[in-house]
């Protein structure tokens, strides 16, 4: 299991209710526009190494692109062919960066665990409990 899985699950649990639902009255282009802005914010947070925020933004983008937008009644209309293709390309890019983000979150989780273990060992040694390492 990924070292950051529990942390990522907790982050996503805080975000899941902010995913929009499809409304046929809401123009499809607005969903695409919203997701384009999410993609931009995601890229900024990746560049700034804000891994928690990047994870949430990337996952939100992919959820909207792959689960929400395809439910819109006009999703398959030829008028949206170019937007649909742009979204597919952007989804692949975001997915690749999201995997990098997850690896960074995993590295941070391992580092935190190593620090906790080192502190625990230091405490045991300072308390006189000597264990073979």
The pLDDT value given to residue 9:
96
Structural domains in the chain, sorted by start: 5-17+25-126 (1.20.58)
Residue 38 exposed, middle or buried by CB count within 10 Å (0-12, 13-18, 19+): buried
Evaluate if pTM is beyond 0.95: no
Per-residue pLDDT tens digits of the chain, which is 133 residues long: 899 999 999 999 999 888 989 998 999 999 999 999 999 999 999 999 999 999 999 999 999 999 999 999 999 999 999 999 999 999 999 999 999 999 999 999 999 989 988 888 888 888 875 544 4
In whole angstroms, give the CA distance from residue 76 to residue 72. Answer: 9
């Amino acid at each position: 299991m990924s070292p950051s899985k529990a942390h990522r699950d907790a982050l996503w649990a805080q975000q899941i209710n902010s995913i929009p639902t499809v409304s046929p009255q809401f123009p499809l282009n607005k969903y695409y526009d919203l997701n384009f802005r999410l993609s931009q914010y995601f890229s900024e947070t990746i560049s700034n190494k804000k891994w928690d925020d990047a994870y949430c933004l990337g996952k939100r983008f992919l959820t909207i692109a792959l689960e929400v937008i395809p439910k819109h009644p006009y999703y398959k209309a030829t008028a949206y062919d170019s937007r649909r293709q742009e979204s597919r390309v952007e989804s692949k890019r975001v997915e690749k960066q999201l995997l990098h983000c997850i690896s960074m979150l995993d590295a941070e989780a391992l580092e935190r665990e190593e620090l906790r273990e080192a502190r625990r060992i230091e405490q045991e040694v300072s308390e006189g409990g000597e264990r073979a390492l």
